[in-house]
Amino acid sequence: MTKELLKGNIAFAEAAVRAGVDAYFGYPITPQTEALEYLSHRMPALGRAFVQAESELGAINMVYGAACTGRRTMTSSSSPGVSLMMEGLSYIAGTEIPMVLVDVMRGGPGLGNIAPAQSDYKHIVHGGGHGDYYPIVLAPANIQETIDLTYGAFELAEKYRSIVVILIDGSIGQMMEPAELPPMKPRKKQFPEWATDGCEGRPARFLTSISLDPPKQEITNLRILKRWQEARANEVICKEYFMEDARYAVVGFGTAGRVALSAVRTARAEGIPVGLVRPVSLHPFPEEVMKRLSKTLDGMLVVEMNNGQMLDDVLVYTKESLPISFIGRPGGVIPMAEEIYSSIQQLVNNPPPIGSSPRDRWFAKVCKEKGL
């Protein structure tokens, strides 16, 4: 297989096609619209369903309908659009049916801007919609990973009857890199025993998220949690770079993670024993990795393109038992490798006291720098 130079938005769209997606519904929003444009001709050419919906509300509920038929279904959007989809996502989770969402994050809150950001970590990873539910959230950092994770997302969603979110940012959506596309999977011909696709030769079925009897709803929520516990045990992905002999680790996902890779390389060249830990599955979070590192390392630096949303999870699993620093660039700003490198130097030369709030220290510094 040869590599092609692929743009992120096209890459995940084609990866979904090759994974056998039967239906795509979406609404234009920068910086992910190329996916919608691409699928608007690619899907009909293959005899598959495509609709440009009247809104993200429309799109997610078209996904809901199509997912009820047991067919492979997806949508993609960007932060403000995903906020609109939260209603449908909660209903889909409550109905316990699989779907795939690609969120190409941009700067927020509000209309914000169209620049790359990691603004949606909390509302994607920790729910967003109402009720107890647990999406599987995967955060690739380059085009090849975006393809590979999207390609596997449908089976993952089906295995756990869960929402799978591919969480990337505008830079991954817009960039081009050489990557290999996987082979075209045949479309599914067998459909699950819960699918409402016409009751020919079998008893009628219904799918709903309503359960007026609280003890029944309680069982539903516990069943959702049970599947989640299985995913938590089996689906963790975390990449480590230069960690064999590392005394320090930078922790960052997606684009923040790959920028940190450049900083780590610079630090290594200067003889600093630092590595990079890049969570690829944000949910399930690499809890065990964090626990292990918190016992063995001398310090940790968390890097994000937000005000420290994943940071809170890192703090939970490390129990703040080692010096931890944070550097964030919110609002659509990509951090530069130099600023991460200088934070690594700070951490090593001047480790903060254990248990002192990494966000507070970072914010105090930012306030001074920006005159806030």
Residues that bind other proteins (CB under 8 A): 3, 5, 22-23, 25, 30-31, 49-51, 53-55, 57-69, 71, 73, 87-88, 91, 95, 114, 142, 170-171, 174-178, 196-201, 204-210, 255, 258-265, 334, 336-338
Return the ∠ at Cα 67 (arms to 64 and 71), rounded to 5°: 155
Distance CA 66, CA 208 (A): 14
In 3D space, the residue among 295, 298, 291 whose CA is nearest the CA of residue 317 turns out to be 291
Nearer to other proteins, 62 or 231 (CB): 62
Task: Quote the CA–CA distance of 339 and 369 in Å, as a whole number.
Answer: 13
User: Alpha-carbon distance 224 to 94, whole Å?
Assistant: 8
Q: How far is the CB of 150 from other proteins (least distance, A)?
A: 19
In whole angstroms, the minimum distance from the beta carbon of 34 to other proteins comes to 10
Of 30 and 345, the one with the shorter C-beta distance to other proteins is 30
Q: Please state the closest distance from residue 247 (CB atom) to other proteins, in A.
A: 21
Q: DSSP of 53-66, one letter per residue?
A: -SSHHHHHHHHHHH
Q: 186 with 20: CB under 8 angstroms?
A: yes
**Residue 217 vs residues 86, 88, 194: alpha-carbon distances, Å:** 20, 18, 18
Q: For the CB of residue 295, give the shortest distance to other proteins in the complex, in Å.
A: 28
Three-state DSSP state, 310: helix
| Closer CB to other proteins, 31 or 323, in the complex | 31
- State the Cα–Cα distance between residues 352 and 36, nearest whole angstrom: 46
Taken as a whole, the chain contains a residue count of 372
Cβ neighbours of residue 213 under 8 Å, at least 6 residues apart?
Answer: none
Nearer to other proteins, 123 or 258 (CB): 258
Residue 22 or 313: the one with the smaller Cβ distance to other proteins is 22
Shortest separation between residue 102's beta carbon and other proteins, angstroms: 17
Q: Which DSSP helix (H) or strand (E) runs through 100?
A: strand 99-105
Residue 115 contacts residue 67 (beta carbons within 8 Å): no
Residue 302 belongs to what H/E stretch? strand 299-304
Least separation in angstroms between CB 183 and other proteins: 20
Nearer to other proteins among residue 251 and residue 322 (C-beta): 251
Contact 164, 231 (CB under 8 A): no
Return the number of the residue (30 or 357) whose C-beta is nearest other proteins.
Answer: 30
Which of 236/337 has CB closer to other proteins?
337
What is the distance, to the nearest Å, from the Cα of residue 67 to the centroid of all Cα atoms in its chain? 20
The enclosing H or E element of 247 equals none
Q: How far is the CB of 332 from other proteins (least distance, A)?
A: 12
- State the nearest-atom distance from the C-beta of 35 to other proteins, in Å: 14
DSSP-derived pairing of the beta strands 163-169 and 99-105: parallel
Q: Which is nearer to other proteins, 142 or 318 (CB)?
A: 142
In whole angstroms, the minimum distance from the beta carbon of 195 to other proteins comes to 8
